[in-house]
Structure 1
Amino acid sequence: MPKAKKRKAPITNNIIVDPSSSKPQARRTLIRRFHVLLKKKAQLEHQLSNDDGSKHPHGSLTEVKLALTEVGNEIEELGGLEAYQRMSSIGQGNDRGGGSEKYLISWLKEMMIHETCQRLKQRHLLLEVGALKPDNYRSCTSWLDAAPMDLKSRHPDILEQDFLTLDQSSHRAKWDTISLSLVLNFVPEASDRGRMLRYAHNMLKEGGYLFLALPLPCVENSRYLTFEHFRLLMSSIGFNELKSRWKHSGKMVYYLYEKTSPVQTEMDFSKKQILRSGNRNNFVVLIRD
Structure 2
Amino acid sequence: MTVKKKHHRSRRPVQLSHGRPPTINNAARVSLSSRATRNLIRSHHQLLKARARALEADDHELAEKLDAQIQANGGLESYQLASKTGQSLERGGDTSKVLVDWISPKLVQLKNTPFKLRVLEIGALSTKNACSRNPYLDVTRIDLHSQEPGILQQDFMERPLPSGDDYRFHLISLSLVLNYVPSPTERGEMLKRCVAFLTKSLPSGCSMIDFSPCLFLVLPAACIENSRYLTQDRLQKIMSSLGFTLAKSKVTSKLIFQLWEFNAHFEHRSFGKDILNPGKTRNNFSIILSHTSSTAEAKQ
- SS at 1:107's partner residue? helix
- 1:201 paired with 2:222, answer no
Mapped partners of 2:213, 2:117: distance in 1: 10
Cα offset, 1:256, TM superposition: 0.3
Give CA deviations for 1:85-112 in whole Å, capped at 9, x if unaligned: 1111113369x96310100010011xx2
**Structure 1 runs of 4+ off > 6 angstroms?**
none
1:265–1:195 CA distance, 2 compared to 1 (3 A) = closer
Q: Which structure would you say has the larger Rg?
A: 1
2:159 is matched with 166
1:29 is matched with 39
Mapped partners of 2:164, 2:48: distance in 1: 27
* RMSD of aligned residue pairs (Cα, Å): 2.4
2:283 is matched with 281
- 1:74 paired with 2:69, answer yes
Aligned AA (1:252): L
Mapped partners of 2:164, 2:56: distance in 1: 28
Mapped partners of 1:22, 1:72: distance in 2: 23
Aligned AA (1:280): R
Mapped partners of 1:44, 1:19: distance in 2: 30
Q: How does 1:183-262 map to 2 (within 5 A)?
A: 183-206=177-200, 207-247=212-252, 250-262=253-265
1:162–1:256 CA distance, 2 compared to 1 (3 A) = same
Instruction: Give the structure-1-normalised TM-score.
Output: 0.79
Structure 1, gaps ≥5 residues long: 1-17, 49-63
Aligned AA (1:235): S
Structure 2, gaps ≥5 residues long: 1-27, 201-211, 293-300
1:42 is matched with 52
Say whether the 8 Å CA contact 2:242–2:268 is kept in structure 1: no
Mapped partners of 1:171, 1:179: distance in 2: 20
Cα offset, 1:26, TM superposition: 3.6
Cα offset, 1:32, TM superposition: 3.0
Say whether the 8 Å CA contact 1:35–1:188 is kept in structure 2: no
Percent of residue pairs identical: 37
Cα offset, 1:239, TM superposition: 1.2
- 1:181 paired with 2:175, answer yes
Q: How does 1:47-196 map to 2 (within 5 A)?
A: 47-48=57-58, 64-92=59-87, 98-109=93-104, 112-136=105-129, 137-140=131-134, 142-170=135-163, 174-196=168-190
